[in-house]
Amino acid sequence: MQRDLGSLPLAPALRARLVAAGFQTVQELLETGPCGLSKEIGISKEEALEALQVVRQECHGDAARTAGGSGATRKCTALELLEEEQAQGFIITFCSALDNILGGGVQLTKITEICGAPGVGKTQLCMQLAVDVQIPECFGGVAGEAVFIDTEGSFMVDRVVDIATACVQHCQLIAEAHQEEDNLKALETFSLESILSHIYYFRCRDYTELLAQVYLLPDFLSEHSKVRLVVVDGIAFPFRHDFEDLSLRTRLLNGLAQQLIIVANDHKSALQEGKEHSSTFRLGSAIGLAAESVPSLLP
Amino acid sequence: MVVLRAGLCPGLTEEMIQLLRANDIRTVVDFVSSDLEDVAQKCSLSYKVLVAVRRVLLAQFSAFPANGADLYEELKSSTAILPTGSPSLDQLLDSGLYTGEVTELMGAPGSGKTQVCLGIAGSVSLGLKQHVLFLDSTGGFTASRLYQMLRAQAEDEEEQAALQRIQVVRVFDVYEMLSALQELRDRLSQQVVSSAGPFKIVVIDSVSAVIYPLLGGKQSEGLAIMMQLARELKTLAREFSLAVVVTNQVTRDSSTGPLKPALGRSWSFVPSTRVLLESKEAAWEKATTQRVASLAKSPRQPTGIQVELDIG
């Protein structure tokens, strides 16, 4: 494969040495082998072996994809995507006006951002959604679990208890009105305890914890594969103060954004962000253009 | 800077390479730029053999000059102009997207870049019946919206076929994007001479989402990867006669300064055409599908011309 070395995820120092020694494409590297490589560029045999492994992995990934192998999980035609989208459920918010403008509810595999001035109800809506995602399928829900990442400490468990109790009662009323088998069976597992036990709560006090939590999310989600909603309440909060280096802030926010998009896409979950506003009249986002470009839906 | 290796060309044997290496000649550039008489003496190799090897290496590795008339003929036969699906945008771009070039759409969030990209993909797939490769790095590709756009223009059977011609690859990392482009390159080079090959256009939405997390700070790795991506896009466009469309964000120097494209000065040399998309009024006050597209850089048209665009 005539792939240029610069396009592979190698360590910068290693790449500099390879270029200085005259290696340009992947093929030259693979032909040399680990012993020749360690002699040519002056690194230990283990490092040479590691580097060659990385290179081989990338190239085999390419080859598998060209041959139409199963590595191509993120590649499909628009028609297949359309069918996937049409089969996807929504997380209803129990407010029909809001559901209408969102096109049915909060979409899965997308990031939805809620912004508003302090006190307008963002955390309340997030808590409502954490309960709504668990509604069983026979009642029109997605029967999933929720992850709640809290940076402001505004998550009130007693309020969630109120919301959950109301939701269970609502479903009971529907079940009584329709008297169907599935509804009654589902209601047996849909109770206050089960709702609360399926909301995984994380408290992050500063931006490092938030970043760490988001980067660890994929592992968590692969263990808890029923999670369908990730809420980050207050994504702007840890980044607003004490940040002298603004370009670092932009980089971190963008990296965070990409990681969240990966989580939403790969694990078929919806992501919610509550974002705080500066209390001036201008209703722009507190962080500006860099962070605004993340979400694909903005209610 | 290719390393000299046995079998690189006939006449270059392993012993020769060892002798040359002992005299500090390790790459093709070293060989070709050294004084061959000197080398013949020091390495005790035959001068004739060295000259023959040099001739073959030069033929293999150097670029050949072409004359302008040939280039023009080649361009006329291989360039195609692809319609974007929006007549006013076509007018801005001097009748459409030219293959062999990189075109950039830039704008603030919500200005309509993804919508325009969907429109382009739809129009090329439906109107020209060509294949489209859509690299989505923001998760913003919505097939139902594309379907809606196609429905407005065509009958039922054609839309399904059109949707099948659009291949969507989700890449959220710059290395994944480079792998996807490499895969495209392999597929295209395996197609023998046909100029009506599978793909005619590559749409990348967006390039800044994957590069932004790497730029800035003390390391220059981000810049290196960005230029690697730039080189890959330009060579793909030129070698395989593809039109490449990328989207980019905009930033400001200060909170009141004018908008300027993101990714800095180095990236500004990459696209040959740049279009800035803006809303006519502040987006939240009135729901509008009207946008204003202005030409910020173009090799053919005067910059500064503006047209109105409807992305609804």
Q: B137 lies in a domain?
A: yes
3-state secondary structure of B214: helix
Q: Is residue B69 part of a domain?
A: no
Examine the domain organization and report whether B51 and B103 are in the same domain: no
Q: How many structural domains is chain B composed of? A: 2
Is residue B279 domain-shared with residue B146, that is, in the same domain?
A: yes
Q: Which residue of B has its CA nearest to A3?
A: B182
B165 contacts in chain A (CB < 8 Å): 77
pLDDT digits (tens, 9 = 90+) for B154-207: 776 788 888 888 889 988 888 889 988 988 888 888 765 444 447 889 999 889
Considering only CB atoms, which chain B residues are within 8 Å of A298?
110
Per-residue confidence (pLDDT) for residue B290, from 0 to 100: 84
B200 and B254 fall within a common domain: yes
Residue B66 lies in a domain: no
Q: Are residues B239 and B206 in the same domain?
A: yes
- What was the ipTM of the complex prediction? 0.77
**Long-range contacts of range A162-170, CB-CB < 8 Å, 24 or more positions apart?**
A163/A127, A163/A128, A163/A131, A164/A131, A164/A192, A164/A195, A164/A196, A165/A192, A167/A94, A167/A131, A167/A132, A167/A135, A167/A195, A168/A192, A168/A195, A170/A94
Report chain A residues whose CB lies below 8 A from the CB of B173. 258, 262
Average pLDDT over residues B1-30: 76
Question: Could B140 and A3 be called an inter-chain contact, meaning their C-beta atoms sit closer than 8 Å?
Answer: no
Q: What angle do CA B26, B30, B31 make, to 5 degrees?
A: 90
Are A8 and B216 in contact (CB < 8 Å)? no
Interface contact flag, A296 B27, Cβ < 8 Å: no
B167 plus B240 within the same structural domain = yes
Task: Examine the domain organization and report whether B46 and B89 are in the same domain.
Answer: no
Tokens 């109800």 correspond to what residue? A121
Contact criterion met (CB < 8 Å) for B163 and A77: yes
The verdict on B181 and B228 lying in the same domain is: yes
Token pair 């992501």 in the structure block, residue = A271
Q: Are residues B52 and B93 in the same domain?
A: no
pTM: 0.82
Tokens encoding B75:
């361009």
Decide if B217 and A7 are in contact by the 8 Å CB cutoff.
no
- Do B48 and B177 belong together in one domain? no
The answer on B52 and B89 residing in a single domain is no
CATH code, domain with B297? 3.40.50.300
pLDDT given for residue A280 in this prediction: 29
- Pair of tokens at residue B103: 């075109």
Whole-number pLDDT of residue B246: 94
For B277, the domain range is 76-310
Task: For an interface test with A, give the residue of B4, B28, B182, B211 to mutate (most A CBs within 10 A).
Answer: B182
CA of B84 vs chain A CAs: smallest distance (Å): 18
Same-domain pairing of B225 and B155 = yes
CB under 8 Å to A239, separation ≥6 — which residues? A207, A249, A252, A253, A287
Same domain, B47 and B130: no
Instruction: Answer whether residue B68 is part of any domain.
Output: no
Alpha-carbon span A263 to A238, nearest angstrom: 20
Q: What is the pLDDT of residue B284?
A: 59
What digits encode the pLDDT tens for the residues A100-154? 888 888 888 888 888 888 888 888 888 888 898 888 888 878 888 889 988 888 8
Whether residues A289 and B146 touch (CB distance < 8 A) is answered with no
In a domain, B9, yes or no: no
B219 contacts A22? CB cut-off 8 A: no
**Which carries the bigger pLDDT value, residue A8 or residue A210?**
A210
Q: Which two tokens stand for residue B239?
A: 């070698």
- Residue B25 within any structural domain of the chain: yes
Question: pLDDT value at position B196?
Answer: 42
- Position B67 in a domain: no
Domain assignment present for residue B6? The answer is: no
pLDDT of residue A279: 33
Choose from B2, B133, B168, B202 for mutation: most chain A CBs within 10 A.
B168
Q: Tell me the percentage of chain A whose pLDDT exceeds 90.
A: 6
Both tokens assigned to B263: 């990714």
Reported confidence tier of residue A293, pLDDT bands at 50, 70, 90: very low
